[in-house]
Amino acid sequence: MTKQEALFEYLLRIGDNSLIMGHRMSEWCGHGPILEQDIALINIALDHIGQAKNWLTLACEVEGKERTEDDLAYHRDVLDFRNLLLVEQPNGNWGDTLVRGFLFDTWNYYFAKALTNSMNTQIADIATKSLKEISYHKNYSADWMVRLGDGTEESHTKMQDALNRLWMYSGELFTMDEVDEIMLKDVIGVDLHLVRKEWDDDVNATLTEATLHRPPDAWMQKGGKTGIHTEHLGYILAEMQFLPRAYPDAKW
């Protein structure tokens, strides 16, 4: 794998995480439990979509094949997507969405923070631009973890159930493969072992405050980073890509 290929893959992974997370959050539009939270999720969705656009635009530039960020978003199939399995998991109930957000946002914060030191200035710039937005997401998620984890018996049970269900997707956040190693060696990418340490401390502190139990690390599902996805991604793409595929000339 050349360095350029690795860089393209790396950018796809970051961009696809934002894109799919953003799409999932946008599915809440008009369905939030109360108006303020509906609005909050849509604001967060918009941040993710904006960040995805920045990452995927840079990916296209690196690839140099005259594809655009829209081509990447709307004209790739499941096997070409590089997002983590965690972000494609269904919204489920309010608790499922919050727990998924909490696990991802906490990771995304420390990941983006490390990326602000990238030797690639374009990457560092996008990471810096994204980081403050992500800190709002992280704070929002943690706040809800505590509120509902340490809430009623029912809310506590639902949060613990969601945590138990989603935990097997948390391992992939920290797996390092060839792409990660090439990027780390050139001080372009991030050492996920260091991110793991910060994530662990932060997640443990919030879970304790939320009176929730950290599930044991058992079998971890992975594959999203290399294009092996759960069945859910296909349904997301079917909805997300329908319009530009059915009406290729459609313009806003």
The footprint of other proteins (CB under 8 A) covers 36-37, 39-40, 43-44, 46-51, 53-54, 121, 124-126, 128-130, 132-133, 135-136, 139-140
> Toward other proteins, which CB reaches closer, 132 or 193?
132
Q: Tokens for 72?
A: 């990447």
| Nearest distance in Å: CB 109, other proteins | 12
DSSP 14: H
> Toward other proteins, which CB reaches closer, 53 or 82?
53
DSSP 220: -
**Is 24 in contact with 38 (CB distance < 8 Å)?**
no
**Is 23 in contact with 236 (CB distance < 8 Å)?**
yes
| Nearest distance in Å: CB 49, other proteins | 5
* Burial environment of residue 226 by CB neighbours within 10 A (0 to 12, 13 to 18, 19 or more): middle
> Toward other proteins, which CB reaches closer, 71 or 143?
143
Question: Side-chain half-sphere of 160: how many Cα atoms within 13 Å?
Answer: 16
- At which residue do the structure tokens 């794998």 appear? 1
Q: Is 223 left (phi over 0), alpha (psi -120 to 50) or beta?
A: left
| Nearest distance in Å: CB 25, other proteins | 11
| Nearest distance in Å: CB 48, other proteins | 7
| Nearest distance in Å: CB 143, other proteins | 8
> Toward other proteins, which CB reaches closer, 7 or 112?
112
> Toward other proteins, which CB reaches closer, 201 or 209?
209
